[in-house]
């Protein structure tokens, strides 16, 4: 069963309730990945596909640029 971005965000929220630096860092990391995976779904649904092998940038940077540009790279 695939993990949904909302599942990851729920874990982040639970981690943020603990008052330790490690828990807070983990919560921020999980929240970031929740947003990242939601963004991937949005891009795949709304923008035309691209050949990601043509780009030298990492997948996280590619996603950000595609969201900013609102079009293919």
Query: Which three-class secondary structure string do you get for the chain?
Result: CCCCHHHHHHHHHHHHCCCCHHHHHHHHHHHHHHHHHHHHHHHHHHCCCCCHHHCCCCHHHHHHHHHHHCCCC
Which pTM does this prediction carry?
0.72
User: What does the pLDDT look like over 10-50, one tens digit per residue?
Assistant: 999 999 999 999 999 999 999 999 999 998 888 888 877 76
Q: Residue 69 and residue 14: Cα distance in Å, rounded?
A: 34
Residue 58: pLDDT band (50, 70, 90) is: confident
């Amino acid at each position: 069963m695939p993990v949904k971005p909302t599942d990851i965000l729920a874990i982040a929220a639970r981690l943020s309730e603990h008052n330790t630096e490690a828990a807070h860092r983990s919560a921020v990391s999980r929240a970031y990945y929740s947003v990242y995976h939601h963004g991937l779904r949005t891009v795949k649904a709304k923008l035309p596909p691209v050949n990601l092998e043509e780009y030298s940038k990492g997948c996280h940077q590619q996603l950000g640029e595609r969201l900013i540009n609102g079009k293919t790279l």
